[in-house]
Copies of this chain bind each other. A is one copy, B any other.
Amino acid sequence: MRILFLGDIVGRPGRDAVAKHLPDLRRELKTDAVIANGENAAAGFGITEKICNELYAVGVDIITGGNHSWDQREALAFIQDQPKLLRPHNYPQGTPGRGVANYEIGRGRKLLVINVMGRLFMDPLDDPFASVEAVLSSVRLGATTNAILLDFHAEATSEKMAMGHFVDGKVSLCVGTHTHVPTADTMILPGGTAYQTDAGMCGDYDSVIGMDKGVPVQRFRRKLPTDRLSVASGEGTLCGLFVETDDSSGHAISAQPIRRGGKLQATPPLD
A225 touches B73 (CB 8 A): yes
Known contacts A73-B225, A155-B156, A221-B166: A185-B126 contact under CB 8 Å: no
In the complex, how many angstroms separate the beta carbon of A262 from the nearest chain B beta carbon?
Answer: 10
Does A2 lie at the interface of the complex (its beta carbon under 8 Å from any beta carbon of B)?
Answer: no
A244 CB to nearest B CB, Å: 16
* Docked complex Cα distance between A94 and B222 (Å): 8
Q: How far is the CA of A91 from the CA of B184 in the complex (A)?
A: 30
Q: What residues of B have a CB within 8 angstroms of the CB of A130 in the complex?
A: 92-93, 221
Given contacts A91-B223, A93-B130, 10 further A-B contacts (CB under 8 A): A92-B127, A121-B155, A155-B155, A158-B209, A162-B217, A184-B200, A184-B257, A184-B259, A187-B265, A190-B206
The stretch that binds B, out of A16-24, A101-109, A175-183, is A175-183
How extensive is the interface on chain A, given as a class? 35 or more
Known: A158-B216, A220-B159, A223-B92. A264 touches B129 (CB 8 A): no
> A184 to chain B: which residues have CB within 8 Å?
181-184, 200, 257, 259, 264
Interface residues of A (CB under 8 A from B): 70-71, 73, 76, 91-95, 119, 121, 123-127, 129-130, 155-159, 161-163, 165-166, 179-187, 189-190, 197-198, 200, 205-209, 213, 216-217, 219-225, 257, 259, 263-265
Q: State the number of copies, please.
A: 4
Expressed in whole angstroms, the Cα–Cα distance for A10 and B198 within the complex equals: 21
Q: Which residues of B contact A185 (CB under 8 A)?
A: 181-182, 200, 205, 264
A190 to B179, CA, bound (A): 22
Closest 5 pairs between A and B when the two form their complex, measured CB to CB: A124-B124, A184-B184, A182-B184, A161-B208, A121-B121
Is A183 in contact with B180, judged by CB distance below 8 angstroms?
A: no
**Which of B125, B161, B187 has a CB less than 8 Å from the CB of A223?**
B125
From the candidates B126, B157, B189, B220, name the one contacting A179 in the complex (CB within 8 A): B157
